[in-house]
Structure 1
Amino acid sequence: MKTIAHTKLLENLKQKILSYTLVDDDLLQEQMQCYHQIELKKGDTLVVPGQLVHHFYYVATGCIYYYRLEEGEQKVVEFYTDDIFFTDVPAYVKGTPSNYYLKATEATVVYAITKSDAENSFKKSHQLERFGRLSMQEAFIKIFTRVERLNSRTNEERYLRLLAKRPDLMQRVPQYLIASYLGLTPVGLSKLRKRLGKG
């Protein structure tokens, strides 16, 4: 049973790569050999501050949150859920130690490829280089637009947008993490939900 599930998750990964650009079958098969599976339990961490980030990741199933600690409080930057590529982009690109955590909020399966394996494949193939560029660009833009939204929208606008775009997060992620992601306190989120008749 586990083998069938693993095969299905790998097929999803292949389709995700192909969603960025066409890749010849032989090149794609070679690329797939570079990924290794990591199974995480709820609360397990992929990255901690001070760690060098040598991998680019794909969430096959589950949820990872990206956060930093400020005066002992978690400040959530992003949630990565099923079928998303992610990493700590600044640390990965610059080769510097991370300032962030990447942690599972639930049982999660990710596939990881090392930076050296990824870069070697990009040298061999323009198709894979295009995939690498577009997937990294998407990961960067996700963080950039998220920060921009935090600064330019009201609490209510951010909450309603999250509800419309990612309603699953409300069921999968503790409310205090949702509050942090929205730039609110848990009490502030609770009051906002009551005011909007959402809880």
Structure 2
Amino acid sequence: MEAMQERLINYFSRIMPLTDAEAAAIRDSMCIKPFPKGTVLLREGQVSTECYFVLAGCVRQYYLVDGEEKTTNFFTENQWVVSVNSFANQAPANHYFACCEDSQLVVGTEQKENDLYERFPRLETISRLVMGTVFGELQEQLATYLTDTPEQRYQKLLKARPDLFQRIPQYQLASYIGVTPESLSRIRKRITTPAAPVTHSPAEKAARG
């Protein structure tokens, strides 16, 4: 458990060095819970009262559109799981969060945050920097859906997060990229199949000298 705690401490320390008192306060307030695979952390229509930091495992964000799940994000180790609008504005969520794997998550609440900020105002600055990172990642992700082809999104995901291809079912990856599972199979085949070598006939070779 101590090793798990240090992951969050190290995450904050990379953003801004913590004093011993700040680190101790975060450890004391930290609530780490196990969530089995399949656990739904947030449902459409619920108001989010918790945010999460992934210590181990994977959480999927998805929408229900005409009864079909549309995956929009995967959160793995050292990432925050926050329904930003619902948590900040106490508005009903329009999406779901569900665990794709058995997961260990730090569970945070607004009350816990405010208690820490009152005792250590500098932690609020760190929190704003964290939210800036979260917003930046969301903005970058949205840009890929607006500007990239499905094949480009696949290649970017393969480069940035190759572990997902071993952890996530193909139909969920296909939904995330924005294609059918069959189209994803064709994309994977095109990318993994080496191009045939160019050959020339004897006449062409002679002409080339």
In the TM superposition, residue 138 of structure 1 has moved relative to its aligned partner by 1.5
The 8 Å contact of residues 46 and 92 in structure 2, kept in 1 or not, is answered as: yes
Distance 2:28 2:49 in 1: 17
Matched, 1:67 2:62: yes
Where structure 1 has 5 or more consecutive residues not aligned to the other structure, the ranges are 1-5
Distance 2:72 2:111 in 1: 27
CA-based RMSD:
1.4
Where structure 2 has 5 or more consecutive residues not aligned to the other structure, the ranges are 194-209
Matched AA of 1:74: E
**How high is the TM-score relative to the length of structure 1?**
0.92
Matched AA of 2:174: A
Aligned pairs (5 A) from 1:143-182: 143-182=138-177
Deviations for 1:117-153, whole angstroms, at most 9, x for unmatched residues? 1123224333201211011121222222111111101
Match of 1:21 in 2: 16
Would you say how many aligned residue pairs link Structure 1 and Structure 2?
Answer: 193
**How high is the TM-score relative to the length of structure 2?**
0.87
SS in 2 for 1:195: helix
Distance 2:126 2:52 in 1: 14
Aligned pairs (5 A) from 1:118-133: 118-133=113-128
Aligned pairs (5 A) from 1:32-181: 32-181=27-176
Distance 2:141 2:77 in 1: 18
Deviates more, 1:74-83 or 1:27-36: 27-36
Distance 1:125 1:75 in 2: 40
The 8 Å contact of residues 5 and 30 in structure 2, kept in 1 or not, is answered as: no
Q: Give percent identity, aligned residues only.
A: 30
Q: Which has the larger radius of gyration?
A: 2
